[in-house]
């Protein structure tokens, strides 16, 4: 059975240091419940309680499941690997001790930290990518995090490709997948980021299905994508302009995605993410519209 969740980033609670203030976790969780979602991700460290008993009680009162937590690590920098492992273990430990032993570490690059990648999100050229030596370091870092989490807590790690980081384009994701152990590191397939990065999410789901352990539903507005090229938007400007629009209003073929997930008997969660900047838009209204759209797909 496929269940539907949302994530704090849909309310502007992002991992970046940004101006503006996102809503508090109590209001965000209330609005998730009110708009029909059954689960959530943790959000950035400190957004929700960091005491396991408090976290468990908060989510129990809302009748929400906790599915995973986003952990950014600058994996191209070997000196950052140990700190990344520590952060992942701290995060996994919180979820594990709160009783969410099936939750994922959603591992990603430290997106938005490299100027060239941030300024050119959605229009990455090969020369902006990593060398073979850097790829080896990157893959080693990702596996190091996943192995530590698995060995200490028995929990799984999925990699989240993401615009504004070093794994954005279809070729970059393919490279990382080829360099990492498929039994150790799964994939969090994010439909909107894959489309913004220049790929077809339906093709990606078919290609990587055996490694897709976690799914993010995000749509992509190609009109904003074109404007980003014409006006040289950076990643954050693209988000501000609505590059990740409401589900069903962009280019992602969600019906084909759902059909494939049903055909393959996918039993995991779908997490809606409509990234907005802090204080931007009407998150509750969008969450409701996104849930209604997913219902129209039969879920």
Q: For position 16, what pLDDT does the model report? A: 43
Q: For position 22, what pLDDT does the model report? A: 59
Return the exposure string of 131-161: e unless at least 16 CB atoms fall within 10 Å of the residue's CB, then b: eeeebebbbebbbbbbebbbeebebbbbbbb
C-alpha dist (Å) from residue 123 to 46, 129, 177, 214, 242 = 33, 12, 21, 26, 17
The whole-angstrom separation of Cα 257 and Cα 287 is: 19
CA atoms within 13 A on the CB side of 31: 20
Q: Give the domain extent around 15.
A: 3-296
Could you tell me how many helices (H) and strands (E) the chain has, helices first? 12, 9
The whole-angstrom separation of Cα 216 and Cα 13 is: 16
The whole-angstrom separation of Cα 221 and Cα 216 is: 16
H/E stretch holding 290 reads helix 283-296
Q: For position 24, what pLDDT does the model report? A: 87
Residue in 33, 88, 38 with CA at minimum distance from that of residue 66? 38
Length of the chain measured in residues = 299
The whole-angstrom separation of Cα 231 and Cα 84 is: 35
Determine whether 45 is exposed, middle or buried from the number of CB atoms within 10 Å of its CB (0-12, 13-18, 19+). middle
The whole-angstrom separation of Cα 68 and Cα 91 is: 9
C-alpha dist (Å) from residue 151 to 67, 184, 185 = 19, 11, 13
Count the domains in the chain: 1
H/E stretch holding 173 reads helix 170-179
Any residues with CB less than 8 A from the CB of 146 and at least 6 apart, and which?
A: 105, 107, 156, 157, 184, 185
Say if pTM beats, i.e. exceeds, 0.75.
yes
H/E stretch holding 97 reads helix 81-97
Domain CATH number, residue 197: 3.20.20.150
Q: For position 8, what pLDDT does the model report? A: 95
The whole-angstrom separation of Cα 258 and Cα 278 is: 30
Q: For position 19, what pLDDT does the model report? A: 47
Strand partners, 158: 106, 186
CA atoms within 13 A on the CB side of 51: 4
Q: What does each of the 299 residues of the chain score in pLDDT, given as a tens digit?
A: 899 999 999 998 764 444 445 578 999 999 999 999 999 999 989 999 999 999 999 999 999 999 999 999 999 999 999 999 999 999 999 999 999 999 999 999 999 899 999 999 999 999 999 999 999 999 999 999 999 999 999 999 999 999 999 999 999 999 999 999 999 999 999 999 999 999 999 999 999 999 999 999 999 999 999 999 999 999 999 999 999 999 999 999 999 999 999 999 999 999 999 988 777 789 999 999 999 999 999 99
């Amino acid at each position: 059975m496929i269940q539907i969740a949302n994530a704090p980033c849909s309310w502007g609670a992002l991992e970046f240091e940004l101006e503006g203030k996102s809503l508090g976790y109590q209001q965000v969780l209330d609005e998730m419940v009110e708009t029909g979602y059954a689960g959530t991700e943790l959000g950035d460290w400190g957004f929700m309680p960091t005491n396991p008993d408090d976290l468990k009680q908060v989510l129990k009162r809302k009748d929400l499941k906790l599915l995973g937590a986003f952990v950014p690590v600058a994996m191209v920098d070997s000196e950052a690997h140990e700190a990344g492992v520590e952060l992942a273990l701290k995060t996994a430990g919180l979820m594990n001790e709160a009783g969410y032993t099936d939750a994922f570490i959603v591992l990603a690059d430290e997106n938005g930290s490299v100027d060239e990648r941030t300024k050119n999100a959605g229009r990455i050229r090969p020369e902006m990518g990593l060398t073979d030596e850097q790829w080896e370091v990157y893959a080693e870092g990702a596996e190091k995090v996943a192995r530590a989490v698995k060995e200490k807590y028995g929990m799984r790690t999925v990699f989240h490709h993401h615009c504004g980081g070093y794994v954005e384009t279809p070729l970059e994701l393919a490279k990382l997948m080829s360099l990492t152990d498929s039994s150790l590191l799964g994939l969090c397939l994010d439909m909107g980021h894959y489309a913004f990065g220049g790929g077809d999410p339906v093709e990606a789901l078919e290609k990587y299905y055996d490694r897709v352990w976690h799914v993010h539903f995000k749509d992509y507005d190609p009109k904003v994508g074109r404007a980003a090229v014409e006006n040289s938007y950076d990643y954050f400007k693209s988000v501000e302009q609505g590059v990740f629009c409401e589900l069903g209003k962009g280019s992602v073929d969600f019906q084909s995605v759902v059909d494939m997930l049903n055909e393959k008997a996918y039993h995991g969660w779908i997490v809606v993410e409509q990234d907005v900047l802090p204080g931007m838009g009407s998150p509750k209204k969008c969450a409701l519209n996104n849930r209604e759209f997913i219902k129209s797909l039969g879920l």
